[in-house]
Amino acid sequence: MPALDPILADIDRDLDTSLERLFAFLRIPSISTDPAYAAECRRAAEWLRADLSAIGFNASLRETGGHPVVLAHLPKPGAPHVLFYGHYDVQPVDPLDLWETPPFEPRLVTLPDGRRAISARGACDDKGQVMTFIEACRAWQAMQGELPVGVTILIEGAEENGSKHLPEWVAANRDELKADLALVCDTGMWDSATPAITTSLRGLAYFEVFVRCADRDLHSGLFGGAAANPIHVLSRIIADLHDDQGRVTLPGFYDAVREPPAEVLERWRALNLTPENFLGPIGLSRSAGERDRMLIEQVQSRPTCDANGIIGGYTGEGTKTVIAGQASAKISFRLVEDQDPEAVAASFSDFVRARVPEDCSVEIVTHKGSRALALPFDMPALGAARHALEAEWGVAPVTIGSGGSIPIVGDFKRSLGLDTLLIGFGLDDDRVHSPNEKYDLQSFHKGMRSWARILAALAG
Amino acid sequence: MPALDPILADIDRDLDTSLERLFAFLRIPSISTDPAYAAECRRAAEWLRADLSAIGFNASLRETGGHPVVLAHLPKPGAPHVLFYGHYDVQPVDPLDLWETPPFEPRLVTLPDGRRAISARGACDDKGQVMTFIEACRAWQAMQGELPVGVTILIEGAEENGSKHLPEWVAANRDELKADLALVCDTGMWDSATPAITTSLRGLAYFEVFVRCADRDLHSGLFGGAAANPIHVLSRIIADLHDDQGRVTLPGFYDAVREPPAEVLERWRALNLTPENFLGPIGLSRSAGERDRMLIEQVQSRPTCDANGIIGGYTGEGTKTVIAGQASAKISFRLVEDQDPEAVAASFSDFVRARVPEDCSVEIVTHKGSRALALPFDMPALGAARHALEAEWGVAPVTIGSGGSIPIVGDFKRSLGLDTLLIGFGLDDDRVHSPNEKYDLQSFHKGMRSWARILAALAG
C-alpha cells in the first residue's frame, strides 16, 4: 500500500482547481423535476462523463427512460471493488427571491461565524458530495497512477424526482454493477467537527391530496355559511393527523415499529441531544414531536408525518373573499424498519376519505415510497472507514441513523446483494432543498482527504 | 309621466354605440391599488366627466387626497332626487397569463352556453354597471330632454383599494350630496333570468395570519419529528374555528347575533331554499354550515367564517420533503348586525395566539373591516323598483340579503341620512376580481332598460 501523504498533499495543493471544477459543475442548472431543464440535466451528465474520462475511467452515458445515468469503471484486478453512487440533478430553486446570490452562480462565502462555504444549488446535495469523492480518485490517479481498489461510479440524474427509472435500470445491469460494497455520499456529519457513518435510513411514503368541493371558486359573501370549503376540509385532515401528545393518529401506524435495543437507547441517552442543542441553530427551542420520546428517537428511530406543502384559494397581496373550489396538500411519512409504505398508503387513504364531505371529492396521488433500511453493524468495511475518518478528523466518527431516505440503498441490497457504507460531509445547516444551499469548504477539503483515506483502508 | 316606450326603443337602437362608449371606458387601465396607474385612474375620471357633461350633467372632478371623485348633478326641482354611486377603478389583473384575451382590450365573446358577454377587467365591476345606469340617463335625455327625477352621480376611484378617503369626503360634502334616496349598482341578479334587490349586507372582518417556526425551510428527513411545522399549526387553527355542528367556535362570536323576526323566518321557510337548489348549480348538494339552521339563514342572517386562502411549503410539481419555515392563511368572517369587527379581531387574535407553540411566532394583519347593514323593508322606493324590474324581466325580483359588504352604504346612512336601494345586474359567473371578468350583454342591455324604468318609477 503506497503512503497516503503525497496524495493528501496533492489534494491540499489542488484545492483551488478542485473548486473550479466543482463550480463549473454547479453552474449547470440540472433541475430534474422540471422538464424545461432536461437538456441541462443531460449537459451535467456529459460534463461528468468527460471529467471521469479525463482521470482514466471508462465512462459513458446510459439511457434509462428518464435523465441518463453516468456510469464509469476503473477496475483493479485482484483488489476489492466498490460501487460509488451519487446524483447530478438538483432541487428546484424557488422561492428565487430568498436567494442572497443567484443559485447557479456558485461562489465562496464567509458565514457569520467565520466558516467559509460554497454557496449554490447543489453545493452539498449532491454535486459537492459527488465531487468530493471524484477529487479523491483524481488525486490517487495523479500521484499513483491507479486507485487502491477497483471503482465503479454510478451518478444518476433523477434522485430529486424519485429515481423512477433507476431500480429497473440497476436490476437490468446487474452484471456490470458487480462489486463488493456500495458507497453512498448523500449523507451528513454529526457536526462540523465530527464525521459520521450512517447505518440506518428512514423510509418514505409521500402523498398529494387534492380536495375538490364546488366546481368553481365562490364569493364568500354569497356562499359563505353553506358551501363546503376545501381549505377547511384539508386543515381538518392535517390537524387530525397528530394528537396533542405529538403522536401520529393514523390507525395502525405504530404497529410495526420496534423499540431500539436497550444498549442503543443507553448510548443515545449519553449523547444528551437536547431540543435546545438540536433546534437552537434553526431558531426553535422545543420539540414538536412525541412527548414521551428523547429527541434523538424522534428524529432517528420513530416514524413521523409532515405536511410538506399546502395551497388553496387566494394567495396574492391583499384580500379576496373567495371560497376556493379546490385545495391541495403534500403530506409525507418518514417510516422506520418493518413499516410497509403500502400499508401506510391504505391507512392514509381511509383516514383522508373519512374526513371529506359526501358531496366533495378527493384525489390522493401516491408518489414513490420506500421502506426503511438498517445496515449490519458488523460489516468489516465499517471498521475500516471508521479508522480512516478518525485519522483525518482526530475524533472517532459517530454512527447515526438518518431520518432521510435513500431508496437506492435498498435496491443495491435487493438487486445486487450489496451492503452500503453511507458517508457524507453535509452539515445540518447546509440548507439542502432550500434557498442559499451551501457546502462548507472544510467539508469539501477534508472530505476529499477522508475519501482518499477510506479508499486506501478499503483495499484491506 | 311620459311614455317609456320611446326611451326603451332608443336604448335598443343605441346598443352598439353604448357598447363603443363602454369599451372606450374599459380600455383605460384604472387600477387603483397600484400607484403606477394613478394617471390612468385620473384619465378614467376625466373620461367620465366629459361623458356626463355631454349628456347635460354639471360634472367635475373633486380631489379627495387619493384618486379624484367624479361628481355630476342634474337637478329637477319639485321631483325626488337620487344619489347614484359607483366606481371607475378596477382590480389588478394578475395572474395575467390566465386571461384568454388582454384585460384592457374589451371585446364581445360567446360563452359555451351561447350567451354573449363583454370580456374585460371592469366589464362588470364596476364600469359596466356604472355605464348601464348612465346609458339609461342618456336615453332619457335624448328622447325627453330631461330625467324623470333629479340625479346626482358620484363615481369614486378607490373602491378596490378600500375607499380610504371617501367617508371623510362624503361627510365634508354633505350639503352637495343631499338627496331622497341613494342608488348603488355594485350588486347582482338572483340568476340570469331573475333580477334582485339587495336589502341587507353582511359585514366583514378579514385577517391574514403568518405563522413562523424555524428560521428557514428544513429537510423533513433531518428535522421531521422534532421541528414545529407551521402548516400543522395553521391547520389546527383553521380546523378549530368550526365545531362538528358547523358553528364558529370563536369565543363570544354569536353573542351579538339576533334571531330574525318570526314573520321573516316564516317567509324564508316558505321560499324552501334547499341545499340541492342553492348548491346544485355549483356542484354541491349538502350544506357545510350550521346544522340547526335553514340554508337561507346560513347565507343571510348568520355570521360565518371562511379561510379564503392558504399557502406554505412546497407547492410546485412533484415532491419535496421540506418542513416550511413559514405558512400563511387569509381568514375572514362575515358579520351580521350588531357584531363589532373590532371585537371579532380581538377574539380572533386570542384564539390564534393560544394555538401557536411558544417557540414559534405569529403575525396577524387586520385588513379593513365593516359592520353589517340592514335596509328597511318598508321603503316606498323598494316597491317602485320592484314593479319596474318585474315589468322589464317578466318575473318578480327576488329580495336578497347579500353576504357581501359595501361600506359606502353605511356612510350614506350615517353622513347623509340616506337609505340605499341596491340594484345591479352582475351574475355569479362574472369572475369579478378574477381573470376573464365578463358582463353579460343581456345584463347590459336589459339593465339599461331596467334603470330607465326605475328612474320613471321613482318619480312617483
Instruction: Name the residue ranges covered by the structural domains of chain A.
Output: 5-201+372-458, 204-257+303-370
- Within 13 Å and on the Cβ side, how many CA atoms surround B201? 24
Mean pLDDT by 10 residues, chain B (460 residues): 88 98 98 93 98 98 96 97 97 88 96 95 97 98 96 96 91 96 92 87 93 91 92 98 97 93 83 89 94 92 95 87 95 91 96 98 90 78 93 88 77 92 91 90 98 95
Contacts of A369 (CB under 8 A, 6+ apart): A203, A204, A205, A206, A335, A341, A342, A344, A345
pLDDT at A404: 67
Tell me if the domain spanning A204-257+303-370 has CATH number 3.30.70.360: yes
Q: Residue A403 — very low, low, confident or very high, per pLDDT cuts 50/70/90?
A: low
CA A271 to CA A250: how far, in whole Å?
Answer: 31
Give B228 or A222, the one with higher predicted confidence: B228
Report the residue from A208, A220, A302 with minimal CB separation from B403: A220
What percent of chain A shows pLDDT beyond 70? 99
In chain A, DSSP finds a helix count (H) and a strand count (E) of 14, 18
CB A191 within 8 A of CB A103: no
Predicted confidence (pLDDT) at residue A377 exceeds the cutoff of 70: no
pLDDT at residue A433 above 60? yes
Q: Residue B226 and residue A302: Cβ atoms within 8 Å?
A: no
Residue A65's φ and ψ, nearest 5 degrees, are 105, -25
Tell me the average pLDDT across A430-434: 88
Please, which pLDDT band fits residue A76 given cuts at 50, 70 and 90? Answer: very high
CA distance B405 to A221: 8
pLDDT at A271 over 90: no
Residue pair A440/A116 in contact by the 8 Å Cβ criterion = yes
Q: Which band of pLDDT confidence, cut at 50, 70 and 90, is reported for residue A370?
A: confident
Q: Coil, helix or strand for B366?
A: strand
pLDDT at A191: 83
Q: Which of A160, A107, A115, A132 is nearest to A436 (CA)?
A: A107
Tell how strand A218-219 and strand B373-374 pair up. Answer: unpaired
The residue written with cell numbers 431500480 in the block is: A167
pLDDT of residue A35: 92
ipTM value greater than 0.90:
no
Q: What is the pLDDT of residue A300?
A: 84
pLDDT at A251 over 90: yes
Interface of B with A in 65-124 (CB under 8 A): 94
Q: What whole-number distance in Å separates Cα of residue A82 and Cα of residue A418?
A: 10
Residue B7: exposed, middle, or buried by beta-carbon count in 10 A (0-12, 13-18, 19+)? buried
Strand order of the β-sheet with A116-119 is A107-110, A116-119, A438-440
Compute the C-alpha angle A272/A277/A282, nearest 5°: 150
β B81-87/B150-156 pair status = parallel
- Name residue, grid cell 427571491: A97
Q: Which residues of A149-169 are buried (b: 16+ CB within 10 A; e: fewer)?
A: bbbbbbbbbbbbbbbbbbbeb
Residue B275 at interface with chain A, using a CB cutoff of 8 Å: yes
Distance CA B327, CA B312 (A): 4
Q: Which amino acid is at B145?
A: G
Task: Give the per-residue pLDDT at B404.
Answer: 66
Whether A276 has its CB under 8 Å from any CB of chain B: the answer is: no
**Cβ–Cβ of B310/A298 closer than 8 Å?**
no
Arithmetic mean of pLDDT, A319-333: 92
The letter for the amino acid at A95 is: P
Please confirm whether the linkage preceding A126 is cis (ω < 30° from 0). yes
Instruction: Compute the C-alpha angle B193/B199/B203, nearest 5°.
Output: 115
Please report, as a single letter, which amino acid is at residue A326. Q
If you measure CA to CA, which chain A residue comes closest to B314?
A: A309
B253 shares contact with chain A (CB less than 8 Å): no
| Residue of B202, B216, B334 for testing the chain A interface, max A β-carbons within 10 Å | B216
End-to-end C-alpha distance for chain A, whole angstroms: 9
pLDDT beyond 70 at A137: yes
Distance of CA A34 to the CA centre of its chain: 18
Q: Which helix (H) or strand (E) holds B324?
A: none
Residue/partner pairs of B91-95 with CB below 8 Å, 24 or more apart: B91/B31, B91/B33, B91/B121, B91/B122, B91/B125, B91/B160, B91/B432, B91/B433, B91/B437, B92/B31, B92/B33, B92/B34, B93/B31, B93/B121, B93/B435, B94/A316, B95/B435
* Residue B310 to residue A315, Cβ atoms within 8 A: yes
Q: How far is CA B156 from CA B132, B159, B272, in A?
A: 16, 7, 39
Distance of CA B18 to the CA centre of its chain: 24
Closest approach of A296 to chain B, Cα-based (Å): 9
CB hemisphere CA count around A207 (13 angstroms):
25
Q: Residue holding cell 412527548?
A: A291
Pick the CATH number of B203-257+303-370 from 1.10.3720.10, 3.40.50.300, 3.30.70.360, 1.20.1250.20: 3.30.70.360
Is residue A183 pLDDT above 90, yes or no?
yes
Query: How close does chain A come to B376, measured CA to CA in Å?
Result: 20
Nearest CA-CA partner of B435 in B176, B91, B21, B163? B91
The chain A residue lying nearest B244, using CA atoms, is: A236
- pLDDT score of A402 more than 80: no
Q: Which residue has the higher pLDDT, B41 or A338?
A: B41
Q: Which residues of A touch B315 (CB under 8 A)?
A: 309-311, 330
Q: Are strands A373-374 and A196-201 parallel, antiparallel or unpaired?
A: antiparallel
Residue B456 in contact with residue B388, Cβ under 8 Å?
yes
- Which set of grid coordinates corresponds to residue B455? 328612474
Name the residue among A216, A287, A403 with its Cβ closest to that of B282.
A216
What are the strands, taking DSSP E only, across A215-273? Answer: 218-219
Sheet arrangement for strand A203-212: A361-370, A203-212, A326-335, A304-313, B304-313, B326-335, B203-212, B361-370
CB nearest to B221's CB, from A202, A219, A288:
A202
pLDDT at A2: 65
Quote the pLDDT of residue B460: 80
Report the residue of chain A nearest B222, measured CA to CA.
Answer: A403
CA distance B10 to B17: 11
In chain B, residues with a C-beta closer than 8 Å to the C-beta of A315 are: 309-311, 330
Closest CA to B420 of B201, B182, B156: B182
The answer to whether the beta carbons of residues B352 and B366 sit under 8 Å apart is: no
CATH architecture assigned to B5-201+372-458: 3-Layer(aba) Sandwich (3.40)
Closest CA to A93 of B404, B279, B316: B316
Nearest Cα to Cα of residue A22 among A13, A14, A33: A14
Return the pLDDT at B2. Answer: 65
Query: What b/e sequence results for B198-233 when a residue is b if at least 16 CB atoms lie within 10 Å of its CB, and e otherwise?
Result: bbbbbbbbbbbbbbbbbebbbbbbbbbbbbbbbbbb
- Chain A residues within 8 A of B304 when measuring between CB atoms: 220, 224-225
